[in-house]
Copies of this chain bind each other. A is one copy, B any other.
Amino acid sequence: MAVRVDLNISLDGFATTTGQTPDNPMGEDWPRLVGAYAATKTFRERVLHDTSGQGTTGVDDEYAKAYFTELGAEIMGAGMFGLHHFPDDPDWRGWWGDEPPFRVPVFVLTHSTRPSIEMTGGTTFHFLSATPQESLDRALEAAGGKDVRVGGGASVVRDFLKAGLVDQLHVAIAPIILGRGVRLWDDLRGFESDYDVTTETAESGTVHLTFRR
């Protein structure tokens, strides 16, 4: 049972892109930042429900598979569920489709809570106004001995990192310079001292770094 994070970041440490709109929820730089992950067989199957069998099967896909392995619950910020764009729509069900890839309880952090939403395939969204520690306690309870993943966005992840709650941080670094967005590493000087770090390069040029304690 571990608390895990997986994030796509740029070489200059931006873990989110700018220019999000309801029509383009991931923002203008998303294809370049997340392209290698989105090209994997696992992403195409699990997130896009593409059963054609297409997609990459190398190092990037090994990490993509691990995202969902032993997953018992997920925590995400309001932005990842789309509440920033649709704050007043009580029928908004997120932009993860009718059958979200999580297939476990997902705890969405928001100051304005709403009733839980049960989706197809095992995912249920719960809405919590809570500190990182409180939400983690809820998620661990729901995870039934499996892992809890803090999915994002960058500022939510940083809150959990700063609070010392994360056992394993995996960053997939795209060799691009974004120059704007939310910086993952701010206020984390010396973070590595509590962790062992391993590095692996994918065929796509993505650098995978994993901090484990």
Contacts and interface: CB of A to CB of B under 8 A. Distances in A.
Given A201-B200, A201-B201, A192 B177 contact: yes
Contacts of A53: none
Contacts of A187: 179
Interface string A160-183: 000000000000000111111001
A179 B185 contact: yes
Nearest to A188: B177
Contacts of A207: 199, 201, 207, 209
Contacts of A205: 197-199
Number of copies: 2
Q: Size band of the A side of the interface? A: 20 to 34
Contacts of A177: 185, 188-192
A11 interface: yes
Main secondary structure of the interface of A (DSSP, over half): loop
A199 B199 CA distance: 11
Interface in A198-213: 198-201, 205, 207, 209, 211
Could you say which of A185, A200, A205 has the most chain B C-beta atoms within 10 Å of its C-beta?
A185
A204 to B, nearest CB: 10
A159 interface: no
A190 B32 CA distance: 11
Given A11-B209, A13-B12, A185-B11, A179 B190 contact: yes
B201 A199 contact: yes
Nearest to A190: B177
A179 B13 CA distance: 11
A18 to B, nearest CB: 11
Given A175-B199, A176-B192, A179-B187, 6 more contacts: A12-B13, A177-B185, A179-B186, A179-B188, A179-B190, A199-B205
